[in-house]
Amino acid sequence: MKFLRILIGCICLSASVNLAAQTVLDKVSVIVDKGVILESEIRELVKTVKDNATKNNQALPSDRALRTQAIERLILDNLQMQVADRMGIRVSDPQLEQTIANIAQNQNSSLDQLRASITQAGLDYENYRESVRKELITGEVRRANVRRRIYITPQEISTLVSLIEEQGNEQAEYRLGHILIGFPPEPTDDDITAARNRADKVLNLLNSGSDFAKIAIASSSGPKALDGGDMGWLNINSMPTLFAEVIQGKETDNLIGPIRSGAGFHILKIMETRGVEVAKLEEINARHILIKPSIILSEQKAQSMLLEFKAQILEGTAEFADLAKKHSEDPGSAIKGGDLGWADPNMYVPAFKDALMQLAKDEISEPVRSVHGWHLMQLLDRRVDDITDRKKQDKAYQLIYNRKFAEETDAWIREMREEAFIEVLDEEGSSD
């Protein structure tokens, strides 16, 4: 009996050891105020960045540098989600589903096609949904907290309107790469000198042919570091003033910097430029009749109704406006005989816009299916609007607002980060 008990004990101990060896436990890797970041979150983000880099043939820095940037991204996300929780900002499932449906529509695909493409890319659809939810929440948090920091004077608008007019209504756009060698909070002279030296070394590496995106991921403390420093396309008047002043007249692939600001030393690369945009707006005046299919009214019946309406209009036995008032299910335009008024065609959903743009003046379309239902539309006229003073001011205001919003967002995030309690734990769980 004694031997049997010992044998059973050995078997149980062996099973426990094997089970422990096979089980990888998640753990807290970072403490962020009242929240935590799990090791699994860091690994997942690093994996995503690596997968994207592989697909794009993009070089990456060391795993240590990549992990550091991933942790910083997750810290900022975590802090913003904590702010959202305190403010009571939520995104319901119906709101989320509508947003994802809009994403699919903008990609000219169905919801099922979008889901399939996400799965084919090796991503989990539920994780994708939650990432969209998080982006909606953090976007609302930024808007709520940054808007009140922005003040635009009439003089700023007037000055920009004058500048736009001087430039002949042409606005160049730049796709910028950005690396920030940041200062610590309340930097000393030694801190500033050290940052300048690091910036000079980074610039030397770039001038020697080093990959910009790889250097940005490894070295930048800017908000787009994990995206290889890519700031995307920016209008000359919507980018930070500091950048706008130094890039004008520069060409693609030019490196600029280091440029000092309150945040640190900036290095810019002009990745691409594209044309100019004329500040004139082509508008169309159209009217339509909308019929929405339902359980009672089939797709085919809705389409045939509109075909009959078109025949009656062409024969002269009915007026477009009268049919719209009687049958159209667009309440906003139906009472006006289907008239949509003068509008930028880009405001319409793709199927509706594309059909309208193919029509000649006074021409009536075939029935067109959009996300809203079946339309019979008529193009009444086209015009090129030589933007009025009001529109120029609206455009100038929006450009200034976008620039200040970006600047104040960076400042707000930096302040939030500096005020937060952050503890990064190493592999053994002790303070880093």
The chain-wide mean pLDDT, for the chain, equals: 85
C-alpha pair distances (Å), 355 with each of 104, 118, 334, 345, 349: 20, 30, 20, 10, 10
Give the CATH number of domain 280-386. 3.10.50.40
Asked whether the beta carbons of 268 and 246 are under 8 A apart, the reply is yes
Angle between helix 111-120 and 125-146 (nearest 10): 110
Looking at per-residue pLDDT, the higher value among 165 and 68 belongs to 68
Cα angle 398, 403, 404 (rounded to 5 degrees) comes to 100
Listed by start position, the domains of the chain span 28-142, 280-386
pLDDT band at 335 (very low <50, low <70, confident <90, very high): very high
pLDDT(274) > 50: yes
pLDDT(304) > 90: yes
pLDDT at 346: 87
Asked whether the beta carbons of 408 and 386 are under 8 A apart, the reply is no
- pTM of structure: 0.53
pLDDT at 178: 94
Report the SS3 class of residue 58.
Answer: coil
Query: Two tokens at 135?
Result: 């982006």
pLDDT at 260: 93
pLDDT tens sequence across 81-128: 999 999 988 888 888 888 898 898 888 888 889 898 888 877 788 888
pLDDT(276) > 60: no
For residue 429, which phi and psi values (nearest 5 degrees)? Answer: 90, 5
Q: Which long-range contacts (CB under 8 A, 24 or more apart) does 346-353 make?
A: 349/105, 350/105, 350/106, 350/108, 352/288, 352/377
Phi-psi region of 338 (alpha: psi -120 to 50; beta: other; left: phi over 0): left
Which amino acid belongs to residue 13? L
Q: What architecture (CATH level 2) is domain 28-142?
A: Orthogonal Bundle (1.10)
pLDDT band at 329 (very low <50, low <70, confident <90, very high): very high
Pick from 249, 389, 345, 296: which is nearest to 305 by CA?
A: 296
Which amino acid belongs to residue 431? S
Mean pLDDT lowest for which of 97-101, 237-241, 262-266, 413-417?
237-241
Mean pLDDT to the nearest integer, 399-405: 90
Asked whether the beta carbons of 321 and 289 are under 8 A apart, the reply is no
Query: Two tokens at 422?
Result: 């952050």
pLDDT tens sequence across 39-69: 998 998 898 888 888 888 888 888 899 999 9
Give the whole-number percent of the chain exceeding pLDDT 70.
Answer: 88
pLDDT tens sequence across 192-234: 999 999 999 999 999 999 999 999 999 999 889 999 999 989 8
SS3 per residue for 148-204: HHCCCCHHHHHHHHHHHHHCCCECCEEEEEEEEEECCCCCCHHHHHHHHHHHHHHHH
